[in-house]
Structures are given as C-alpha cells and as structure tokens.
Structure 1
Amino acid sequence: MQTYGLAGSALQRNVRLNERTGYSCTPTRSASLPSWRVLRACATHAAVVVVAALEVSLRLPPDAPVSAVACSALACAVLLARDSYPRATLLATMPGMVLGWSQLATVIALGHVAYRTSAPHRAYAAPALVVLAAVPAWLVTPGFDGGWRERVLGTGTSILLAAGAYAIGRLAVQCRAWRERAGEAAELQEQDRQAHQRSARHEERARLAREMHDVVAHDITLITMQANVLESAPTLEAARESGFVIHQLSSRTLNELRSVISMLRDNSAEQPRRHRLDELAELAETIGVPVHMQPTTPPERVPEDVSTAIYRTVQESLINVRKHAPGATATVRLGSDHDSVWVEIRNSPATAPARKVPSGGYGLAGLAERAMQLDGTFHARSIDDGGFEVTALYPLRR
C-alpha cells in the first residue's frame, strides 16, 4: 500500500508539473527507445571499428612492440570521432599507420576527410600528408626485414590506397551534390507545375467571367434599362412595348445562361453561340442606341473567335453609350486589310443626365483581355468633343 501511495504521489506531481509547464514529464515509449537513425549510426561506427581492428589483428606479428600495438589500437578507436572531427581523426590514425599496422584506419579517415571537405583544393592536403608520412616509413624505417622491392611495393601501395580513398570520398561528395541538384530540379519542376496550374486556373476563371459577363450581364443591363423605361412610360402602348422587349431579353438571357451552365457542368456540352459580323446591325437595333454603321468590305473569311470579339466589343461599347451617355449617337466603323480586321466605336456627348445603373466595371477590362488572347490591340479613351472612342484590332492569322 505504501509503494502504491508513493507511485500515486509521483504521478500526481507529474500531472501538476505538466499542467504548469505544458511539457510531459511522463516517459513515453517513443522517447525511451532510440530512433532508427541513431541505431543505424551506432551500427555503422561499430562495423567500421571492427573492420579496422580485424585488419590490425591479421597483420599484427607475435612479437609486436607494445607501442606499435597501442598506436594501432588508438587508430581504430578514434574512428568513432570521424564524423565530428574528421581532420583530427586522420592525424590520430597516422601514428598507427607509420609505427603500427593500422593502415586501413588511416584510409578510412582519409576518405572521410575528402567527403567532409567541400572545397577540393582544401581536400588535397589530406592525401598529400598521408603520402608524405607513408613514404619515409617504408623507405627509410630501420629494422625493416624486406628488401628494396618490398619497400617500393609498400610505398606504391600506400600511395594507391591514399589516392583511392581520396577519390572515393570526392566521388561521394559529387554524388551528394548530384542528389541535391536533382532534388532542387524536382522542386523547381514541381513549382513550375503548380505555377502552370495556377495560371491555367486563373485563365479559366477569367474566361468564364468574360462569358458570364458577355452572355448574361449585357442582357440583364438592357432589362434594367427597359424596366426604367416601363416605369415612366407615357402611354399604355409604350408600356406594352417595353414589356415585350423585357420578355424577349429575359427569354434570351435564360437560354444563354442555361448554355453557360451546361458548359460548366460538361466540357463536351455545346459552347455559347458564336456571332458573325453581319449581326452587328441587329445588335444595334436591340440595344436601342441610334447607330450609324460605316462598314467597309469585310474579309471573306473571319475566324469565329475574331468575329465574336468584334461583336462583343460593339455590344459592350453601345451598352456603355446607353448607360452613361443618354441621348448620344454612335458611329461604328468596321475595316480590314490583308492580314487584320479592326473596329472603331465612337459616340457623341450625352444630351441628358444618366440614370444610375449597377455596373461592375469589368466590361472594358474583359475586352482588353480578349484582344490580348487573340494577339490584337485594344484602346479606349475620351475624345475632345466630350464623347468616347473604343478601337480594337485583331489579326486574321496567328
């Protein structure tokens, strides 16, 4: 019972400390166990030390002096610090190479220095130092039983091992750089893909906004204006005429709105109807603005998207005349040459105050976007007599 009470008191203290500090004092399973990265690093260090010690044990003679054995053991042991102190580890293994039998430990340390050093000219010093230490050890060390042939072979072997360790370390550096560049390239490619998707979504939203504005907003604006006329109709006949126009515009708006909704729901649905240049006169009559048409000889074949852009330009301009310049007259000029077609809409100043009609201000911006998509130009400006002028030019070939 006393043990249970002590454990319960400790648990209560931990809970109160957790509430005050926001940190957990109770050990969890994930915190008590080392991660797989730590286990892998420990296994790698142990394997390196074991391999280096195995090389020493195979080369160690029975009558080896204690100093040589100590230097060899030190060379194997300091390999545990090669990640944190690569240059110091290399220097610590060199006595074992010169005085003992731990040549592999020096090779491992040299390769690690080459891998850890980013600048190649700084890494050259490590193999040069190893060679400078190995050559005198083989050539001028007294008490060596072998002849000059064995000394030369030992020197050449040391040089080849140093060069090989350095080459492997630098190759690992290049592989690491290649992986980083590949990761950066993949990241840039992903960023480009996302930017392309955002651009595509933006263009699609802009296209849908233009379609909704061109197909629906214009007719709704005309319906609003006809409703204003209906309110102030002087006779019953004029009211009936305005009501008939509102009915026609409402029916047409409903049909076109259904076509836009069908296009949004199903890409294979019928696209909104394209307009031809010979429909401009009917358009002017529908809007109800006195228009003087000055067409020249149009080209025989005008692309559908170009003819629709011209139709929308005239439509937006005439509706703006009716909204913002009551009583004004408009002139529509249509012309072409061998590689382009252009349209100009100019209106006179207003003769009556304009009624306030809701407007989003997207009409002219949509016309400019449409002209840009067709590689054309669009300009809108006020003119000196108080009127307004809209000009658009579209190429016939792209």
Structure 2
Amino acid sequence: MRYRTVLVEAGLIGAAALDTFVHMWSDAPVSIALGVLGCVVLPLRHRFPRAVFALTLPAALLEAALVAPFVALYVLATRSRDRRVLGVCAVLFALASAAPSPFDDEAVKPSDTAVYLAYGLATAAVPVLLGQLVLTRRELSQRIEEIQEAKEHERVLHAQAMLARERAQLAREMHDVVSHQVSLIAVQAGALQVAGPDPATREAARTIRTLSVGTLDELRTMVTLLRASGPTEPTPQPTLADLQQLVAASGIEAKLTGVPALPVGTPGQRAIYRTVQEALTNVRKHAPGASAAVELWQDGPYAGVTVTNTPPGRPALPLPGAGQGLVGLHERACLLNGTLESGPTEDGGYRVHMSLPLN
C-alpha cells in the first residue's frame, strides 16, 4: 500500500509537471517558479487542501497548467460540504484558466475569453462533482457500518432484556410457589417433631425440618441472585472504569465529567455504560457534526448518567434504524428500579438521563 501511494504521488506530480512544461508560454523566472511550486505542493493536498489549491492557481493563470489545480480542487471537494467555498474555488479555477496570460503577446478577443470561461466552468465542475460523489459514498459507507453495529447492539440488548424477564419470572415462581410449599413442609415437620408418638418419628421430623429450613435459605439466595443479576454476556462485562475509553473511541467530540467512581453495583455500572454507548451511537447516527457531554452524577440516594449532545452540524442522511436501543435501555433501568428519560433539548440537541437507586 505504501509503494502504491508513492507511485500515485509520483504519477500526479509527473503529469502536472508535463502539463506545465507543455503549456509554458515564456521563460520568465516567476512563471517557471510558480509552475514548479504548483507541482511540488501537490503531495500536501490532503492535509492543506485549500492552501494547495490556492498555490496551484498562479500556474493556471500564467501558463495554462490545469492538471495541478484540477487535482487540488478534486481533493478539496472530497473534504468539504461547504458549497459556497467549492463554488468560489470553481469560479477561480475557471477565471485562472480563461484569463489571458500576461506573458502571451497575442491579443485575445473578448468573445474568445467568454468561450474560454465557459469551458473553464465546465472543466471546474468535473472535479467538484467527482469529489462530492466520493464524499457521499464515504459517508454512506460509514453510516451503513454504524447502522449495522447499532442493530447488532440492539439485538444483544433485546436478548438480554428477554433473559432478564425470564429470570424475574423464574424468581417469582420460586418465591411464590416453591418457597411457600417448602415452608409448609417445615411447619408440618416442626409440629410432628413436638407431637410425635415416638422418638424415631420425632427424630425423622426434626431431620425433615432441618433440611426444609436449609432448602428455604438456599431458595432465598437463588431468588436474590436471579433478581439482582442483570443480563449476561459472553464477553467481559464493562464497568465505569471503561467509560473513558468508550468516550474517547466514540468517533465524535465528547467529554466525560462528574463523579469518577459512583457507588453503584455491577448491574448498575453495566446499565450506565450501555446508556452512554447507546447515546453516543445515536449522536453519530442522527446528529452528524454534533458534540456530546457525558456527566456522571450522584444526588442523595440516586446516581446515574446524563448524555447531552448539541444540534447536528449538518443534515443527517435518512437511513433506517431498528429503534429499539432506547427501549432496551428503559427496560434495563426498570429492572434496576431506576428511570430513563430522553428527549430533545431547547437548543435543538438531545438528552438521555438515567437515574438508579443506590440501594
């Protein structure tokens, strides 16, 4: 890949140099210097597209060299959505290519200049349109990848919510049915232990009662675990310590503030992590160009996280989404006796607020 890049750069510089040499009107030092400058700065077009385009225009004005400004304008169009900037650059490209060179002694008719200007505008439209098509394709590919990641994430959240509901139902059945029946066995065994007709019967009743009490303790422990344990995943569970890495790798301008270590349990930490993950994913998908603020907070017996993003910097593409992410987060919060609120802000942004009890 590195050699391919070197060959492409060398080919573009060679084509620009050949174009400048072929269309050179005079041997004036300033003309030669500007032609060489327009070719030399081409490798910097990806880092400084506007500056490189500006440096290639003098060669087009003095010597009718079009390859260097054509390439620079194309790269600029792949990096910017500002139509005013692209329009101004296209007009400058057309004027530089149509204006008579000061080193050309031959007089040019105004009608010929108008024709050259029309051709120049048509030529300038080509790199602008090609660059915008490449930029649109790049953005679409990125959005499609984000949607696929979001769908997979929502599928996992839905599976986790279903598993949590099944666990809650199982815990209720064990508490309401099994524990009740074992409690009756323990009561009856206690009564038989007191009023048994012979020592052997009383000893057997005592053993049954002891086993029943132990079974009740184990059932209570299992019910507590089933109710407290959140959805499980095959991968290591994220915690609040992973939030900084999540925010840094979100692909948007985001900042993490607030209480660094909230006193919440492992299920609560997972819920907060997933809330931040889903909120930042929605910012990338629905608010391109926006920045986000992630705040961890604690207020009395409650703690949680608030994710707020600014209005989008550019229109979002109308791409489909499953729409189950916030639903899954709401279910996760309910399982922990918490709340989840989401909605637009007054300035056109969006806010997601999760609150969880500390006990």
**Normalised TM-score (structure 2):** 0.49
Which structure has the larger Rg? 1
